[in-house]
Amino acid sequence: MTDGVGEGRLVLAATPLGHPGDASARLVEALGGADVIAAEDTRRLRRLAAALGVDIRGRVVSHYDAVEVARTPALVAAVREGQTVLVVTDAGMPSVSDPGFRLVSACVAAGLAVSCLPGPSAVTTALAVSGLPCDRFCFEGFAPRRPGERRRWLSALEREPRTAVFFESPRRLAATLADAVSVLGARRPAAVCRELTKTHEQVLRGPLGELAAWASDNEVLGEITVVLGGAAPGSVPMDELVASVRARVDGGERLKDAVSAVAAGTGVSKRELYSASVSAGGPDSSASSATSS
């Protein structure tokens, strides 16, 4: 592991989701002092700088999805030469469903210093206001655009016990929520967060059926983050859970370890699943039970 070589540094900086007042003092300082600023949208960057009263003195380059690969070598070279390269996106944290990951990976591979200025995140902001469990969650990026891929993606969340957060285009929100109802059921709890921290912020909470009806009846605009409640414990049939345990045991795991792993992904009682797995029998049940007690 290395802290980086030379004096150059790649800095990822979170930018406000909408309200300029959410910018940190460190972001303001970085915008005025960076040698190079790689911005997802250079016009938005300059509007933000104007709102913050910052005079940008460094070189500004565009750094959006279509050019990220092409821009990476020159930006890595700038860091290697001792420059501070600041990466900002339109809103939130770079590399989280936004440009930045490839550049970070390239700098890490080159042994160059990488740091981060934490700040606003649509993921955690939506999660916090959703009213859904926040102790365990997963982030799923953007929902797939194609209907078939989207339904398969939703099927993978059918038995996910954790709260899930994902981004969606306002143009596709109604279709995505309708698909979610058909795959996950109309009663699955969820929240639709629109224009977080902005003037027209709106957070709607309720079962998927109600949210899908709202989206189909209204013209939805703005940035959308969806928070989806996890599958309720016991929603997966016990025989399927036992089959998963048996497959792990057949693969060489101890019964106790297999039960713990499967139970952790479903919310079912480990004791109940262990008992059901032993009762299901099999050539190695008694041996596994003896070694795991």
Same domain? For 182 and 139 the reply is yes
User: Which pLDDT score is estimated for 98?
Assistant: 92
Q: Find the helix or strand (DSSP H, E) in which 271 lies.
A: helix 270-279
User: Which pLDDT score is estimated for 265?
Assistant: 56
User: Which pLDDT score is estimated for 266?
Assistant: 63
User: Which pLDDT score is estimated for 125?
Assistant: 97
User: Which pLDDT score is estimated for 239?
Assistant: 82
Same domain? For 276 and 220 the reply is no
Same domain? For 150 and 95 the reply is no
CA distance 42 to 214: 35
State in Å, rounded, how far the first CA of the chain is from the last one: 40
User: How many structural domains compose the chain?
Assistant: 3
151 in any annotated domain = yes
132 in any annotated domain = yes
User: Which pLDDT score is estimated for 174?
Assistant: 98
Same domain? For 173 and 140 the reply is yes
Q: Which two tokens stand for residue 11?
A: 């800095």
From 228, 252, 275, the end of a domain falls on 228
pTM: 0.77
Same domain? For 86 and 134 the reply is no
143 in any annotated domain = yes
DSSP code, position 275: H
Same domain? For 57 and 76 the reply is yes
CATH number at 57 reads 3.40.1010.10
130 in any annotated domain = yes
From 172, 194, 228, the end of a domain falls on 228
Could you give the strand order of the β-sheet that contains 113-117, starting from the edge strand earlier in sequence?
59-62, 36-39, 84-88, 9-13, 113-117
pLDDT under 50: residue ranges of the chain = 1-5, 283-293
User: Which pLDDT score is estimated for 186?
Assistant: 94
168 in any annotated domain = yes
233 in any annotated domain = no
Same domain? For 132 and 211 the reply is yes
CA distance 85 to 36: 5
User: Which pLDDT score is estimated for 3?
Assistant: 44
**Beta-sheet strands, E only, within the chain:** 9-13, 36-39, 59-62, 84-88, 113-117, 137-142, 163-168, 189-194, 202-207, 224-228
Q: What is the domain range of residue 127?
A: 123-228
Q: Which two tokens stand for residue 73?
A: 């070598």
CA distance 188 to 180: 9
Same domain? For 99 and 13 the reply is yes
Same domain? For 115 and 143 the reply is no
Same domain? For 281 and 220 the reply is no
From 120, 139, 173, the end of a domain falls on 120
CATH number at 206 reads 3.30.950.10
Same domain? For 79 and 129 the reply is no
Tens digit of each residue's pLDDT (9 = 90 or more) over 51-86: 999 999 999 999 999 999 999 999 999 999 999 999
1 in any annotated domain = no
160 in any annotated domain = yes
Same domain? For 127 and 215 the reply is yes
